[in-house]
Structure 1
Amino acid sequence: MGERIISPCVGLCSTSLGDRVCRGCQRIDSEIRDWSALSAGQRQRCMVELDELRGEVAGRYLQVIDAKRLEAQLRRHRIRFREEQPPLSRAVELLRVGRGRIRELARYGLAGRDGEDAACLHERIITDLLAAAERRQPRLPMPDLLIPDP
């Protein structure tokens, strides 16, 4: 049986619509295209880079005040996350899925820095996140799948 390939994909890929950066997972088009050809270590490094980017951007607007409560809510609502995923990166996923339903951020272990509701926070975070992802240069050597070895 083959190795399970872990992916940051959330099923909202916008690169097929012409975006260079996916609005769902924030990978650039070449990372998405070449994902299955990357080694497990390369995929892991990419996931860490994306987590760091999400944490950096989300941290401008959001604070995790109770990581255990955040995790419990993610599990309760069956929102996918990785065990090694940092809390702020997890919070971005929570807001993506629940931004229209979350009324009290504290019930989810979160606090907004400017007192905004979940939908406004998500909009600000995702706008900045996409801009930051657009500037991001992956540190991975991407395989060129179109040119065969001589």
Structure 2
Amino acid sequence: MGERIASPCVGLCSTTLGDRVCRGCQRVDGEIRDWPALSGEQRQQRMAELDRLRAEVAGRFLEVVDPESLEAQLRRHRIRFRDEQPPLSRAVELLRVGRGRIRDLSCYGLVGRDGEDAAALHDRITTDLLAAAERRQALLPDPLDPPTQEP
């Protein structure tokens, strides 16, 4: 049996609409295209980079005060997450899915830094996340290009 290909895809790829960076998973178009060809180690590395990016951006607006409540709510609402995924990265996914229904962030183990509701937090995080992902894309090597040899 082959290795399962883990992916940060959340099923709403905006690269098909012409975006260079996906609004759903924050990967660049080439990274999405080449994902199946990456080794398991390369995929894990990229997923960890995306988690760090989400946690860094979300941490500007949000704090996870109870990771166990957050995980329980993710399970309750059947929102996909990974065991190694940091709580702030998980919170980004929760806000993406539940931003219109969440009334009290504290029930999810979260506190907004400026007292904003879930929808407003999601909008601010998404805006900054896309900008950060675009900056990240400029730094990414093409994983399928052979390394260049120095003369």
Q: Taking structure 1 as the reference length, what is the TM-score of the superposition?
A: 0.93
| Whole-angstrom CA distance in 1 between matches of 2:62 and 2:43 | 27
After superposition, give the CA deviation of every residue in 1:46-90 in whole Å (9 maximum; x if it has no partner).
000000000000000000000000000000000000000000000
Instruction: Report the 3-state secondary structure (helix = DSSP H, G, I; strand = E; otherwise coil) of the residue aligned with 2:144.
Output: coil
Question: 1:148 corresponds to which residue?
Answer: none
Unmatched 5+ stretches in structure 1: 145-150
Question: 2:29 corresponds to which residue?
Answer: 29
Q: How many Å apart are 1:30 and its aligned residue?
A: 0.8
Instruction: Report the 3-state secondary structure (helix = DSSP H, G, I; strand = E; otherwise coil) of the residue aligned with 1:111.
Output: strand
Structural mapping, 1:98-109, within 5 Å: 98-109=98-109
Instruction: Report the 3-state secondary structure (helix = DSSP H, G, I; strand = E; otherwise coil) of the residue aligned with 1:132.
Output: helix
Residues 1:118 and 1:129: Cα distance change in structure 2 (over 3 Å)? same
Residue identity over aligned pairs, in percent, reads 78
Question: 1:93 corresponds to which residue?
Answer: 93
- The answer to whether the 8 A contact 1:12-1:23 is kept is yes
After superposition, give the CA deviation of every residue in 1:87-122 in whole Å (9 maximum; x if it has no partner).
000000000000000000000000000000000000
Unmatched 5+ stretches in structure 2: 146-151
Number of equivalences: 144
| Whole-angstrom CA distance in 1 between matches of 2:140 and 2:133 | 13
Instruction: Report the 3-state secondary structure (helix = DSSP H, G, I; strand = E; otherwise coil) of the residue aligned with 2:63.
Output: strand
After superposition, give the CA deviation of every residue in 1:119-144 in whole Å (9 maximum; x if it has no partner).
00000000000000000045555114
Residue 108 (structure 2) pairs with residue 113 (structure 1): no
Q: Taking structure 2 as the reference length, what is the TM-score of the superposition?
A: 0.93
- The answer to whether the 8 A contact 2:21-2:134 is kept is yes
| Whole-angstrom CA distance in 1 between matches of 2:129 and 2:116 | 17
- The answer to whether the 8 A contact 2:30-2:142 is kept is no
- The answer to whether the 8 A contact 1:10-1:25 is kept is yes
- The answer to whether the 8 A contact 1:42-1:140 is kept is no
| Whole-angstrom CA distance in 1 between matches of 2:86 and 2:4 | 22
Q: How many Å apart are 1:2 and its aligned residue?
A: 1.9
Please tell me the root mean square deviation across aligned C-alpha atoms, in Å: 1.0
Question: 2:143 corresponds to which residue?
Answer: 142
Instruction: Report the 3-state secondary structure (helix = DSSP H, G, I; strand = E; otherwise coil) of the residue aligned with 1:136.
Output: helix
Q: Name the amino acid aligned to 2:13.
A: C
- The answer to whether the 8 A contact 2:64-2:87 is kept is yes
Comparing 112-121 with 135-144, greater Cα deviation is found at 135-144
Q: How many Å apart are 1:3 and its aligned residue?
A: 1.5
